[in-house]
Amino acid sequence: MDITKLDMRVKNTKADIALPVFILSMINIGFNADVIAADKPLGQINDNLRITGEFRGRYEAYDFFKPGPAANNNNEYDFWALRGRLGVLATSRYVDGYVQGEYSGVYGLPNDAFATPGGALGLGALYYTENHRNTSPSDVHLKQAYLNFKFDPLGLNGLSLKAGRFEVKEGLEYQTGDAKFDGLKATRVSQRLLGTFDFAHASRNFDGVSTVYDQPQYNISISATRPTQGGFNIAAQDEISDIDLFYTA
């Protein structure tokens, strides 16, 4: 027997085995890295600081009204809109802080879609009339800016106090943990009275204070606020000064 040939065959076999093992090891390392990255939310700088953001574009077309013979009875039109948000969230044991800005722009609105006596023919007409008859209004405003004080370290578990500009979504104060039931609340029950009207291209926010006492069996929420503009009026920086709200649930 040729010992040299036998030794070469053994070495080749070792190389053939080592290569798949090396590839599998690299795949495993890559998979573990993906898992670690997936555990870290996008924009998370460290345990106490996170950058948040979102961008939404929407195209809307209307062609289902049948106005009678009248001036400004354009019932077939389209327009598009953009909305962008950027925020910074800082957290600590005792207090959290959040600042978020929003850009809202609506483009190509009709200036002849509010017939008399029929009224506004679709949402395009509402955006046009609510924004000083501007066919392409846009605005940059402060969406949220608040401090949320947490009293858990003081032995008052579940108690918090929020002050500044923030969102109020009536009906979503308590989550049961049942995905179907909570989903039904979110789509059919919540924001019947108070909400952000997030479907619109400029959401509504609330300036004031809110306190929450959250326990596994129940939730108590109390807020005193003043709403901002928003909805069809995209100048959402300004408050609606004639309205003051006191809400408890």
String of DSSP letters for 216-246: SS-EEEEEEEEEB-BBTB--TTSB-TT--EE
The DSSP bridge pattern shows strands 119-120 and 245-248 to be unpaired
**Cβ atoms 70, 118 nearer than 8 A:** yes
User: Are 51 and 8 within one domain?
Assistant: no
Given a cut of 50, is residue 237 above it in pLDDT?
yes
Structure tokens at 204: 């509504």
Helix (H/G/I), strand (E/B), else coil: 64: coil
Which whole number is the average pLDDT over 85-110?
97
Which whole number is the average pLDDT over 109-138?
90
What residues make up the domain containing 7? Answer: 1-39
CA-to-CA dists, residue 214 to 29, 37, 104, 122, 186, angstroms: 41, 31, 34, 41, 18
Q: Is 75 exposed, middle or buried (0-12, 13-18, 19+ CB in 10 A)?
A: middle
Structure tokens at 154: 């003081």
Question: Which tens digit of pLDDT belongs to each residue from 195-212?
Answer: 899 999 999 999 999 999
User: Residue 195 gets which letter from DSSP?
Assistant: -
User: Are 49 and 83 within one domain?
Assistant: yes
User: Residue 127 gets which letter from DSSP?
Assistant: H
User: Are 227 and 134 within one domain?
Assistant: yes
pLDDT band at 72 (very low <50, low <70, confident <90, very high): confident
**Cβ atoms 80, 60 nearer than 8 A:** yes
User: Are 33 and 65 within one domain?
Assistant: no
Q: Is the dihedral of CA 206, 209, 214, 218 positive or negative?
A: negative
Element (H, E) at 14: helix 3-39
User: Are 31 and 48 within one domain?
Assistant: no
Percent of the chain exceeding pLDDT 70 equals: 84
User: Residue 185 gets which letter from DSSP?
Assistant: I
Q: Round to whole Å and give the CA distance between 81 and 85.
A: 14
Which whole number is the average pLDDT over 61-80?
83
Total number of domains in the chain: 2
In the prediction, which pLDDT does 35 show?
47
The CA R_g of the chain, rounded to the nearest whole Å, is: 28
User: Are 190 and 123 within one domain?
Assistant: yes
User: Are 113 and 205 within one domain?
Assistant: yes
Q: Does residue 173 or residue 152 have the better pLDDT?
A: 152
User: Are 88 and 172 within one domain?
Assistant: yes
User: Are 11 and 95 within one domain?
Assistant: no
User: Are 49 and 32 within one domain?
Assistant: no
Given a cut of 50, is residue 129 above it in pLDDT?
yes
pLDDT band at 157 (very low <50, low <70, confident <90, very high): very high
User: Are 203 and 142 within one domain?
Assistant: yes
Percent of the chain exceeding pLDDT 90 equals: 56
User: Are 68 and 135 within one domain?
Assistant: yes
